[in-house]
Structure 1
Amino acid sequence: MTILTRSNWMLYGAYGSTGRLILDEALRRGHRPVLAGRDSAQLSALGQATGLSTLPLPLDDGAALRAALSRVSGVLLAAGPYQLTGQPMRAACLDVGCSYLDVNGEIGDFSAALACDAQARTAGIAIIAGVGYGVAFAECLAAQLALRLPDATWLRLSLATQTGARSRGAQLSTAATIAAGGREIYQGSLRKRALAFSTWSAPGADAPRMRFAAAPLAELLAVQRSTGIPNIVAGIPLSRATAALMRIAGPLLGKLLTRQAARASNTAVASPSAAAIAVLRSRVWAEAGNATGERVAAMLETGEGYHAAAAAAVRALELQLLEPRVGALTPVQAFGASFALLVPGTSIQEL
């Protein structure tokens, strides 16, 4: 990859918890992105620390946003919640011909990103949402199962993510997702359900003794788009008691969490030590079956969730700059079923 492509992109939200990890990974791999965001003071400090160009850039200043994006080949959006940031950034990218990537896991905005396919193809750009940990890694694992069982009629994902800290943007995104209620893919379409409408245990004798409950994750849309499997559910660790509570009070809890997260500081959260991060492992289990009762299962394992997301996001950006894709694509559609394995320390085990 040339020096030009390594500097010809923008990282928006570089001073947030996730954005800073992406920046660290990008610098380690020789990139020199333009750093942008709303907070001029935090950008200035980050620019002084890294020697990179900075650009205070509120998303509601459409003219300035389009002028800035017209000077780069791509933008990686690391500022959430994406229900607020995704649409204005994508609209500007479509107007000026700048490819768009994000680490979004919000099902509503992820759906909106996928709906931009015709516009993206007309503009000659890529819209690739979810290139971070959750969507990209779970979708890759599901795609591997689909290759083993091409006639699968159902698939279930179980995500157990270990993180060293939790960013304000992630808290806002989670709260908004909970408030919107549950989802599943049923007969090829996204269907609204109660939160935690189903619970289960992960497959495989080595799986931890934990219960999972259905959650409205963007992984549902990504997997359905890339595999065509008609019935899909995805879940996170929840006890039976907590799942029962979520079925009753989930939307109210989401609203309370939204208010709580909105009052939290927007500064980057102090990261645990490297030694503490190194021992954290995130895992995704997937199982699928067909109409005759045949089943397949596998587990993906990687490191701490935010660091894995940062590594995946930078590699996705590199692949897009090296060989531009066009259209609104899922990570697997853009980069293939083995994309997650590009992240060091990531492996897939058949069960």
Structure 2
Amino acid sequence: MSKQKIVIYGSYGYTGRLIASRAAELYSNVLLSGRNEQKLKKQAAELNLDYLAVDTSDPLRLENLLNDAHLVIHCAGPFIHTWQPILDSCIRNRCHYLDITGEIGVFEGIKARSDEIAEAKIMAMPGVGFDVVPTDCLALYLKKQLPDADHLELAFMGLGGGVSHGTALTMAENLGEGGAVREDGRIKSVPAAYKTRSIDFGERQRTAVTIPWGDVSTGHHTTGIDNITVYTAMKPSAIRWLKLSNWISPILRLDAVRNLAKKWISKKVTGPDSKARETGESYIWGEVKNPGGETITAHLKTPEGYRLTAMTAIHIAQKVLSGDFKPGYQTPASAYGEDLILEIEGTERV
């Protein structure tokens, strides 16, 4: 594949801006894209890059965007609404697909098309950010330590960070939907805050609660483990609210309620500032268990989540651009191994 252009779609969102800025430091052949031409024009001038405004509902414009692109880094969520047309165009144009989703439905949807993706001789790797690079790598590391493991539990905790506008909108989109775990190989819907567990993150002990994190999908592909649960550290008051949400889930699923939440987010949520990104840290915990009850645990320490996302997304893009990729659907660790995360500055495994 001789094409070299990098397309960043959704480049002016919170995380897209971080990725675009990092890409601009390394490459001149970056094309910024998204729906809003005014935001693109301003960003392109700041970074000295080209841009093209494209709506994912316009297949002809998408073709024009990707027909000479080597890869796209898709940053425009909620991804459940945007991944399919972009992947369709990537397959037609033999353009590698990367995104920063954490949505289980997106991972499953792309995995179901792995043969089609491989036939186009490209790689599709959703989840090249904080969700799911560090957890995916830790999962594979643990599986190799205990090869007969049949249960995997993962958890994470952030210190000094926050939530971006786009992440908050995805959360609003899923109000009232509950959680998800994997049991006996199948993804199972469960209530919000299905389980809690006290977890030693290395730096401190925290109460963590189950969430529908991307590893419920990707962990099975990476490790073959049939039972997977993912937790995040959370304050007791937030856990109580999650449990309450199970009782009012029909109300939370109303369009009017979700739209109200989105309006509030649009006014109030901006994401961590540069100081928080530079000083914040994330702690990842993982545990595997085999049928005999033997357990092994391990930890990762990484930079703040959004900073890490920009680092891992560009790091993986660099690998693809150099010809280092596996055709078809891949997870970060299935393509690049459990030590991929250790190639990122500021990470360590304990």
Normalised TM-score (structure 1)? 0.91
1:32-77 deviations in Å (ceiling 9; x for gaps) = 3111111100111111112111101111111110122111011000
Please say if residues 179 and 253 of structure 1, whose CA atoms lie closer than 8 Å, have aligned partners that are also in contact: yes
- 2:173 is paired with a residue whose SS is helix
Q: Evaluate the alpha carbon distance shift between residue 21 and residue 208 of structure 1 in structure 2; reply closer, same or farther with a 3 A threshold.
A: same
Partner of 2:25: 28
Equivalent residue for 2:9, pick from 4, 8, 12: 12
By how many angstroms is 1:228 displaced? Answer: 0.7
Partner of 2:308: 308
Aligned partner letter, 1:322 = S
Partner of 2:230: 234
Structure 1: state its 5+ residue gaps: none
Normalised TM-score (structure 2)? 0.91
By how many angstroms is 1:247 displaced? Answer: 3.2
When the two chains are superposed, the root-mean-square deviation of aligned CA atoms in Å is: 2.2
Matched, 1:159 2:160: no
Equivalent residue for 2:60, pick from 63, 67, 85: 63
Distance 1:44 1:199 in 2: 46
Q: Evaluate the alpha carbon distance shift between residue 179 and residue 100 of structure 1 in structure 2; reply closer, same or farther with a 3 A threshold.
A: farther
Distance 1:124 1:321 in 2: 14
Equivalent residue for 2:114, pick from 104, 114, 117: 117
Aligned partner letter, 1:249 = S
Matched, 1:220 2:216: yes
- 2:72 is paired with a residue whose SS is strand
By how many angstroms is 1:94 displaced? Answer: 1.6
Distance 1:73 1:258 in 2: 37
Aligned pairs, number = 343
> Which moved further from structure 2: 113-122 or 14-23?
113-122
1:160-186 deviations in Å (ceiling 9; x for gaps) = 134644322111222334432211110
Partner of 1:338: 339
Please say if residues 101 and 131 of structure 1, whose CA atoms lie closer than 8 Å, have aligned partners that are also in contact: yes
Please say if residues 176 and 253 of structure 2, whose CA atoms lie closer than 8 Å, have aligned partners that are also in contact: yes
Distance 2:11 2:160 in 1: 19
- The correspondence of residues 1-351 of structure 1 with structure 2, limited to 5 A, is 8-162=5-159, 164-203=161-200, 206-240=202-236, 242-250=238-246, 251=249, 252-253=251-252, 256=257, 259-262=260-263, 264-265=265-266, 269=270, 272-274=273-275, 276-323=276-323, 324-349=325-350
Question: Percent identity at matched positions?
Answer: 28
Distance 1:317 1:217 in 2: 23
Structure 2: state its 5+ residue gaps: none
Distance 1:210 1:283 in 2: 11
Please say if residues 184 and 193 of structure 1, whose CA atoms lie closer than 8 Å, have aligned partners that are also in contact: yes
Q: Evaluate the alpha carbon distance shift between residue 162 and residue 181 of structure 1 in structure 2; reply closer, same or farther with a 3 A threshold.
A: same
By how many angstroms is 1:273 displaced? Answer: 3.9
Q: Evaluate the alpha carbon distance shift between residue 105 and residue 233 of structure 1 in structure 2; reply closer, same or farther with a 3 A threshold.
A: same
By how many angstroms is 1:156 displaced? Answer: 0.8
> Which moved further from structure 2: 331-340 or 244-253?
244-253
Distance 2:218 2:44 in 1: 35
By how many angstroms is 1:201 displaced? Answer: 1.3
Q: Evaluate the alpha carbon distance shift between residue 73 and residue 210 of structure 1 in structure 2; reply closer, same or farther with a 3 A threshold.
A: same
Q: Evaluate the alpha carbon distance shift between residue 271 and residue 211 of structure 1 in structure 2; reply closer, same or farther with a 3 A threshold.
A: closer
Aligned partner letter, 1:213 = V
Please say if residues 145 and 287 of structure 1, whose CA atoms lie closer than 8 Å, have aligned partners that are also in contact: yes
Distance 2:271 2:142 in 1: 38
By how many angstroms is 1:138 displaced? Answer: 0.4
1:184-230 deviations in Å (ceiling 9; x for gaps) = 110111111111111101146x3423211111111111111110111
